[in-house]
Every structure is written in C-alpha cells, then in structure tokens.
C-alpha cells in the first residue's frame, strides 16, 4: 500500500495537473468577471465549479483504470457515443435553430463534445491493432475515415459545423502521426480543394456564409457579426500591456462582447489582464499541448501514443481556433476554449481528456 502511494506520488504527472488546474481556476475567476454584468447569468461561475468538480472526479476514474481497458472496450465507447448522438435527434433540445443537446432533468448534455473523445479512442484502437511500417494508402484510410465520417455526419445534421470541424481536425492530426503515401496525401488535398465550393453552397447555412464574408470584409459589415468581432479586437487591444484590471474591462462590463461566457471569455481576459495575462494563458495552453505530445512520445504502446496525440489535438485545435477567432484571425465559429469557456459538456470532455493524458503518462513506467 505504501509502495502504491509512493508509486502514485512519483508517477503522478504534476506538471500536467498543475497547468490544467491553473487554467481551470483562472477560467472560473475570469467567468466571474465576464458574467457579472449580465444579471441572469451572473451565477454561471458557480455552475462551472460544479462541472469542474464533477469533471475532476471523472478524470480521476479515467486516470485510475489502466488505459488498455479502454483499448479493449474501445468500440463500446464509440458505440455509446454514436447512440447518444442518435438520441439527440429523438430527445434533442433546440436552441437557436440547431439541436445539439439532450436534457436529463436539470442536466444538459452535448453528446457531440463527448464524441470527440470516443473518436480519439476508436482511432487509437484501430491504429493500435493495425501496425504498419510502410506508408498507408487511401485504402488503408477507409476504416479510420468511416470512424470519423459516421459521427461527423450526425453532428453536421444537428447542425454544428464547429464541432464537426474540430472532429475532422483531430482526425487529421492523428493521421499525420502515421506514415501516409505522398500520392494519397495529394489526392486527399485535391479532393478537399474541389469539395470546398460544394461545401459553401450546400453544406453551409446562410448565417455561416454571412460570418465568413463578414470575416473577409470586416469593413462591409460593422453590424451584428462583424460588429461583435470588431468589439472583441477593441477589448483586446484596449487592454494594453497590463490590462484594465479585474472587473474593470469596459468592453466586458458594458456588454460590447457577445457570448462573453462561452465564445469570448478570452477577450474579457485579454482586456482586463492585458498582454501579461495573454502571455500567461498562451503559455499555459502551449505547455499543456507540448506536454501532451511529450506524454505521447513516451507512451509504451500505440494506443497510448495515439490517445495522447488525440487529446493534444483536441486541446490545440480548440484553443487555436477560439483564440484566433477572438483575435480576429479566424471567422466567428462557436468553438470553446478548453476549461476557460463555460459549458458542462465541454468541461467534462476536456477533463476526460486530461484524465486520459494522466493515465498514459502514469502507465509509461509499467513494464
């Protein structure tokens, strides 16, 4: 027993824990300021604490079980994820024209968030059991492609372009881990380029096209979408080096920022804490992602490595797309900032991801 505790202490990934916890704590503090001005939502930070606590519990469970059990039951996890996605169509709750949520009493769950983890595990299991040393051809991509395509189509049907896109990005990152024949890569690239106009016309909704045009021509549209994106830049830029101080961000307090709690909390942070705060947060995210890659590189088997890379990809794409959007580098899409944005399913997903990382990290000493 003592040995186990000692083992746990020695094997416990403190840097991962500390950096993830720091992001979560700062996130809650920032949510407090971000929602203080908007009456009805001002207790959101408390709910976020509940979600984080729940997430921490789940993360501990996830970290405690040897991840090879996940490998073994990988298809079950994937299957459960798909069933939940299907349930959305039966029991789903519609908000602003898209159906993404299932409610259990007071509880609202967004299965597409959890599906990201399921995709990572399923891909990890597949790659684990399909070792190849020579380059992969398109034919070898059929099964991983299907693993992505089934849930992604369901998510697109909700419709939830942002989440679908993140899933595709995670998939792409994981597949970059494997060797791909150059020819296959070019074929995929060509297919992507050719499908872009079709996506524009048939897949994107009117408001999504508007957002993209607003992003490309900000001067044409200083109302609505373009206006909010612009005000986000004003918030960040006016923060300067040292920021305006906690609860002192005027852009935040006077509600120039849209969705301060879900999509734009980073703008609130940048306004109130300035360049210093931005550097701190960018540093924390960068550290966690690089650390996750390090965990992957030290993993003892392919499942662990792919899982760690998948979680790293999840964290990377979420943070880069969200911060890029807030800073006006990318169009406005509803992608959350891990552990910083408010949202139960998002918090839960990231915490499971952190638990998986911890798991892989701790299991590197075995055998």
Partner 1 sequence: MTLLSQRREVGEFKKRYKWMALVVLLIFGVLGVRAVLLQIVDHEHYAAIARENITKTIVLPATRGIIRDTTGRLIASNEPVYNVYVTPQLIRPETDLDRISELMALDEEQRSSFEERLQKVPPSRRTHQIEMFSGIAREQLAALETHARELPGVDVVAVPMRTYAYGSLGAHAVGYLNEVSAEDLERLAEQGYVAGDRVGRTGLESAWESYLRGRRGYRRVLVDARGSLAEDLETEVGGDQPMRRDPVPGRDISLTLDMELMRTIERAFRGHPSGAAVVVDVRTGRVRALYSKPAYDLNELSGRLTDSRYAELEDNPFRPLIDKTLYESYFPGSTFKPMAAIAALQDSVVDPSARVNCPGFLQIGRDRKRCSTAHGDVDMRRAIVQSCNVYFWTTAMAVGLERLNRFGHDFGFGQRTGIGINSEASGFLPSRAWYTEHFGRFRVGYTLDAAIGQGNTRTTLLQLAMAYAAIANGGTIFVPQLVERVSSPDGEVIEEFGPRVRRRVSVDRQHLAYVVDGLYGVVNDPSGTAYDARIAGGVPVAGKTGTAQVARRAPRPGEDPNRAWYFNRDHAWFAGFAPAGAPQVAIVVLVEHGGGGGRYAAPVAMQILQEYLSAQEGTSATTGTGPVLARTGGQ
Residues 32-91 that bind partner 1 (CB under 8 A): 37-40, 66, 68-69, 71-72
Q: Contact between 239 and partner 1 (CB under 8 A)?
A: yes
What's the token pair of residue 178?
């494997």
Q: Do residues 351 and 59 lie in contact, with contact meaning Cβ atoms separated by under 8 Å?
A: yes
Phi and psi based region of residue 144 (left: phi greater than 0; alpha: psi -120 to 50; beta: remaining)? alpha
CB of 288 to partner 1, least distance (A): 10
We find the least distance from the C-beta atom of residue 88 to partner 1, in angstroms, to be: 30
By the 10 Å C-beta count (0-12 exposed, 13-18 middle, 19+ buried), 210 is classed as: middle
Distance CA 242, CA 248 (A): 12
The site map against partner 1 for 303-322 (x = CB under 8 A) is x-xx--x--x---x---x--
d(CA 119, CA 282): 26
Min dist CB 291 to partner 1, Å, is: 10
Q: Which residue's CB is nearer to partner 1, number 138 or number 320?
A: 320
* Closer residue to partner 1 in complex, CB, 53/248: 248
Nearest distance, CB of residue 92 and partner 1, angstroms? 27
The per-residue DSSP string of 238-302 comes to HHTTT-S-TT--HHHHTT-STTTTTT-HHHHHHHHHHHHHHHHHHHHHHHHHHHHHHHHHH-SSH
In whole angstroms, the minimum distance from the beta carbon of 317 to partner 1 comes to: 10
Q: Is residue 22 at the binding interface for partner 1, with CB under 8 A as the rule? A: no
The verdict on 289 binding partner 1 (CB under 8 A) reads: yes
Give the residue with the Cβ less far from partner 1, 25 or 176. 176
Interactions with partner 1, residue window 206-235 (CB under 8 A): 222-223, 227, 231, 233-235
- State in angstroms the smallest separation of the CB of 31 from partner 1: 16
Backbone phi, psi, residue 142, to 5°: -60, -50
Q: Which of 236, 311, 332, 339 binds partner 1 (CB under 8 A)?
A: 236
Phi-psi region of 247 (alpha: psi -120 to 50; beta: other; left: phi over 0): left
Among 53, 94, 195, 250, binds partner 1 (CB under 8 A): 250
Interaction of residue 249 with partner 1, rule CB under 8 A? yes
Residue 293 binds partner 1, judged by CB under 8 A: yes
Residue 128 sits in the site that holds partner 1 (CB under 8 A): yes
Size of the site for partner 1 (CB under 8 A): 73
Give Dmax (Cα) for the chain: 67
User: Which residues 170-209 are close enough to bind partner 1 by CB under 8 A?
Assistant: 173, 176-179
E strands present in the chain: 93-95, 98-104, 107-109
């Amino acid at each position: 027993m003592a040995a186990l505790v000692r083992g746990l202490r020695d094997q416990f990934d403190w840097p991962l824990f500390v950096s993830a916890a720091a992001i979560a704590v700062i996130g809650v503090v920032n949510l407090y300021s971000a929602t203080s001005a908007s009456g009805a939502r001002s207790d959101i930070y408390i709910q976020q604490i509940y979600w984080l606590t729940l997430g921490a519990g789940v993360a501990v469970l996830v970290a405690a079980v040897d991840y090879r059990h996940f490998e073994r039951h990988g298809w079950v996890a994937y299957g459960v994820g798909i069933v939940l996605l299907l349930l959305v169509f039966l029991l789903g709750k519609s908000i602003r024209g898209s159906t993404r949520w299932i409610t259990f009493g007071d509880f609202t769950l967004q299965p597409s968030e959890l599906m990201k983890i399921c995709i990572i595990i399923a891909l990890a299991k597949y790659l684990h059991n399909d070792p190849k040393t020579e380059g992969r051809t398109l034919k070898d991509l059929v099964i991983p492609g299907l693993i992505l395509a089934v849930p992604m189509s369901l998510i697109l049907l909700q419709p939830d372009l942002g989440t679908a896109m993140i899933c595709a990005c995670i998939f792409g990152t994981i597949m970059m881990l494997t060797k791909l024949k150059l020819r296959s890569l070019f074929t995929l690239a060509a297919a992507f380029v050719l499908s872009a106009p079709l996506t524009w016309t048939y897949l994107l909704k009117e408001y999504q096209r508007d957002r993209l045009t607003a992003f490309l021509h900000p001067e044409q549209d200083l109302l609505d979408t373009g206006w909010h994106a612009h005000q986000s830049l004003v918030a960040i830029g006016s923060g300067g080096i040292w920021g305006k101080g906690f609860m002192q961000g005027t852009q935040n307090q006077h509600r120039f920022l849209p969705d301060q709690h879900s999509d734009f909390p980073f703008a609130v942070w940048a306004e109130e804490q300035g360049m210093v705060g931005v550097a701190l947060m960018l540093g924390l995210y960068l550290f966690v992602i690089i650390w996750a890659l390090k965990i992957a590189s030290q993993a003892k088997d392919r499942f662990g490595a792919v899982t760690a890379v998948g979680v790293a990809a999840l964290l990377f794409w979420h943070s880069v797309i969200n911060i890029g959007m807030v800073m006006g580098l990318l169009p406005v899409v509803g992608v959350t900032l891990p552990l910083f944005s408010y949202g139960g399913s998002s918090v839960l997903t990231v915490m499971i991801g952190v638990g998986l990382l911890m798991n892989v990290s701790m299991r590197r000493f075995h055998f």
